[in-house]
């Protein structure tokens, strides 16, 4: 392909005219017209000599050749496009996608230099030029490996390139070998798990938990993909209870953030990172695996916070952060029934690896509570309905309906007991095994009626070292949130009397086939049922 550095054609010579030419010019009606035409021709020639220009990848400087852009990027921005091409084995089309990706998404140099396969610009949409007449897209990438080029070392030769390719091939072979070993190990673990697993068991044995640890689930891809859509972030940002609680905690306790290094796990659109930056943090690192992180980069730049906030795409368990320790970890990790989605696992990982001694995780305390529900109208609508559907008995459908936990906003008037806290989590001390548990509970009945369901919700506390403590609840008697409440329907309503103690037991464990979902087993009086939350 022709190099975009090709010079514009030089203007024709403008030597002194001959006698014959002078005589011809004397025949022109007016000399002033000829002078004007001569001046216009000179202006056109000067414009042709100037040639097209293109913009730097990271700033607004303009250059007349791709080589000048690459040299500028290397010296001023510490970005060597030749190194990126070599490191990732890019062909010409891969190079085109890289340039368009950088122009469109405007990632940081640190982010680009940290990338490895899979690359974020592999989509075909990055073949479309982002900048019209972009000289960089007309550049022959083979020129990047010519000894005379300023981007390459004078000592670089074909032998070194071959050795580099062999090195990458060897590295890929080792990765493939390691992946095969992991797959074989996972297969053995799954076989062992299949022998041990009993869905209604009250407590999973520690050996079974160990056997399935580390399984790589395809559901993770679906999970992170869902957070790449703007709609879910709009819903969360518009949840005033959620967002304003985090804002108030950060803004009303600036002493916790002043001149501190902050890690935002699962940063999404970057709202918590920006709160922390405004509160005085000297550096904020936001990490998110979903595609929304590219929008977050634009948001950070729009708000002129790019000198404080750095965003990294990837799982916190896999990325390399540009620092070893942080002072504060913030995260909005909560799911339905608090533990759905298992994102607290990632926060605990970040705490154990990156939190400096004396540092803190926020929110620092969370509780899960249960209440009894008496709503015969809902019971009829959800369960009795199947007994007569247009004259047909479909009651067998109850067996499929009951085990599915229902996420909905409860009518406060249907709550028939005081709340009972079944789990308290200290986020600064919790370990991943703490998130699977079995607890007995007692619900003190406040109304004589029939108990048709048990519902769960959670409360969140920002208290550690806070001058102004903040908390919020997702309970049915509080302002509703996008988390709503989680309802476990009882197949047969239980008659209860005011003042009665309704006793039971709850077991919460992860679904081994999809660790982000939960199995919840409830025993109330003589009834026992396992529910799935997925």
- Enumerate the active-site residues: 332, 341
What the block records as the tokens of 248 is 């108030």
Which of 171, 101, 97, 106 shows the shortest CA–CA distance to 141? 97
Please report the DSSP string for 36-59 in residue order.
Answer: HHHHHHHHHHHHHHH---EE-SSS
Residue 25 in tokens: 């010019």
Sequence-distant (6+) residues with CB within 8 A of 320 are 114
Give the tokens for residue 87.
């490191």
Query: How many whole angstroms separate alpha carbon 465 and alpha carbon 53?
Result: 56
Query: Which stretches does DSSP call E strand in 429-469?
Result: 437-444, 449-462
Max CA pair span of the chain: 123
Q: What long-range pairs does 120-124 form, CB within 8 A, spacing at least 24?
A: 120/294, 120/313, 121/94, 121/97, 122/97, 123/97
Q: What are the structure tokens assigned to 415, written together?
A: 């709550």
CA dist., res. 477 & res. 114, Å (int): 47
C-alpha 457/C-alpha 412 separation (Å) is 13
User: Please, are residues 522 and 488 in contact by the beta-carbon 8 Å criterion?
Assistant: yes
Separation in Å, CA 385 to CA 176, 358, 378, 494, 521: 54, 56, 10, 19, 24
Q: Residue 187: which residues within 8 A CB-CB, separation 6 or more?
A: none
- CA distances 266 to 263, 293, 314, Å, are 10, 9, 9
């Amino acid at each position: 392909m022709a190099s975009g550095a090709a010079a514009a054609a030089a203007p024709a010579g403008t030597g002194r005219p001959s006698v014959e030419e002078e005589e011809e010019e004397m025949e022109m009606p007016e000399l002033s017209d000829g002078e004007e035409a001569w001046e216009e021709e000179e202006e056109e020639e000067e414009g042709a000599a100037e040639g097209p220009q293109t913009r730097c990848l990271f700033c607004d400087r303009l250059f007349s050749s791709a080589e000048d852009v690459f040299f500028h990027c290397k010296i001023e921005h510490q970005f060597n496009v030749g190194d990126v091409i070599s490191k990732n084995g890019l062909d010409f089309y891969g190079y085109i996608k890289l340039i368009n990706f950088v122009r469109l998404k405007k990632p940081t140099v640190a982010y680009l230099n940290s990338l490895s396969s899979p690359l974020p610009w592999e989509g075909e949409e990055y073949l479309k030029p982002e900048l019209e007449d972009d000289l960089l897209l007309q550049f022959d990438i083979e020129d990047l490996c010519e000894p005379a080029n300023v981007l390459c070392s004078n000592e670089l030769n074909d032998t070194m390139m071959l050795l580099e390719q062999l090195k990458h091939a060897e590295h890929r072979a080792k990765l493939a070998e390691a992946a095969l070993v992991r797959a074989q190990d996972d297969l053995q673990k799954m076989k062992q798990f299949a022998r041990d697993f009993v869905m209604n068991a009250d407590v999973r044995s520690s050996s079974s938990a160990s056997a399935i640890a580390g399984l790589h689930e395809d559901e993770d891809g679906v999970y992170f993909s869902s957070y790449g859509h703007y709609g879910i972030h709009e819903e969360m940002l518009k949840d005033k209870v959620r967002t304003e609680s985090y804002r108030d905690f950060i803004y009303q306790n600036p002493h916790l953030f002043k001149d501190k290094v902050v890690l935002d796990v699962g940063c999404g659109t970057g709202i918590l990172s920006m709160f922390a930056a405004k509160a005085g943090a000297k550096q904020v690192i936001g990490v998110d695996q979903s595609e929304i992180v590219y929008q977050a980069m634009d948001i950070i730049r729009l708000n002129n916070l790019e000198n404080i906030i750095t965003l990294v795409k990837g799982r916190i368990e896999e990325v390399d952060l540009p620092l070893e320790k942080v002072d504060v970890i913030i995260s909005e990790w909560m799911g339905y029934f608090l533990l759905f989605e298992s994102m607290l696992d990632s926060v605990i990982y970040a705490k154990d690896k990156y939190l400096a001694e004396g540092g803190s995780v926020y929110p620092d305390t969370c509780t899960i509570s249960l209440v009894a529900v008496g709503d015969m109208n809902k019971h009829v609508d959800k369960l009795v309905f199947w007994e007569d559907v247009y004259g047909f008995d479909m009651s067998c459908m109850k067996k499929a309906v009951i085990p599915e936990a229902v996420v909905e906003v409860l009518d406060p008037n249907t709550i028939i007991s005081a709340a009972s806290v079944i789990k308290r989590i200290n986020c600064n001390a919790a370990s991943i095994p703490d998130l699977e548990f079995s607890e007995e509970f007692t619900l003190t009945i406040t109304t004589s009626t029939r108990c048709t369901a048990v519902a769960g919700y959670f409360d969140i506390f920002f208290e550690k070292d806070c001058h102004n403590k903040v908390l919020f609840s997702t309970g049915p008697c509080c302002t509703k949130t996008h988390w709503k409440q989680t309802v476990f329907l009882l197949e047969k309503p239980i008659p209860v009397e005011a003042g009665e103690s309704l006793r039971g037991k709850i077991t919460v464990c992860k679904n081994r086939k999809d660790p982000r979902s939960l199995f919840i087993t409830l025993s109330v009086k003589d009834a026992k049922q396992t529910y799935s939350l997925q």
